[in-house]
Amino acid sequence: MKIQSNQKLVMIGDSITDCGRAQPVGEGLFEAHGKSYVAYVAGLLGAVYPDRHIRVVNMGTSGNTVRDLKARWQRDVLDLSPDWLSIMIGINDVWRQFDLPLQTELHVPIAEYEHTLDELVLAAKPTLKGLVLMSPFFIEPNRADAMRATMDRYGTVVRQVAKRHGAIFVDTQAAFDSVLKHCHAASLAWDRVHPNVTGHMVLTRAFLNAVEFAW
């Protein structure tokens, strides 16, 4: 597996990452990692690779867009000195365009999204041993759906940013699409955005496969 002994993995994002994690830093006893894929990643790393003593820190914040990540990047990423960093952001950047169409000040255009994500990666990259960029997703199999189509475009941006910076890219949309061949979206997320346990395990599996976790 790519994550080595005594390394710290910081995972940052929006509500999908947050899921009730401890504040101000999502690490510690009981449910400090929250109830998202981050908790499952931490649990599996600890159970399968106990000898590596890998630290996992959840720094997701509900409602965040890439703009919010930029505002807290120093405190919530750089100051934590991660060895590995995982970023999954973009769902709210897209969603606000559809659930709050009149409040255009909350919308993050795709050009701004790409530029800001690039900035964040450049700020963190010099001290990292590994970087994982996870695409945003919409748990909707109809690719012609307006929000799904827009989310796919933002996901393509993440793929491009990952390629530019030599990061690991996790196509979370593809992971969900594979499962959606066999079940309805409502069985994974009531609003097609916030996953249930099965949905979070889909994210967990996609992330761990990308870092060459030995199941």
Residues known to be catalytic: 15, 191, 194
Q: What is the DSSP letter of 135?
A: P
Instruction: Give the Å distances, CA to CA, from 80 to 3, 8, 57, 211.
Output: 17, 9, 9, 21
Q: What's the CA gap between 84 and 39, in Å, rounded?
A: 16
117 in Cβ contact with 161 (< 8 Å): yes
- Coil, strand or helix at 151: helix
**Beta-bridge mates of residue 58:** 11, 26
The angle, 0 to 180 degrees and rounded to 10, between the axes of the packed helices 66-76 and 110-124 is 10
Can you count the helices (H) and strands (E) in the chain?
8, 5
- Residue 70 tokens read as 């930029």
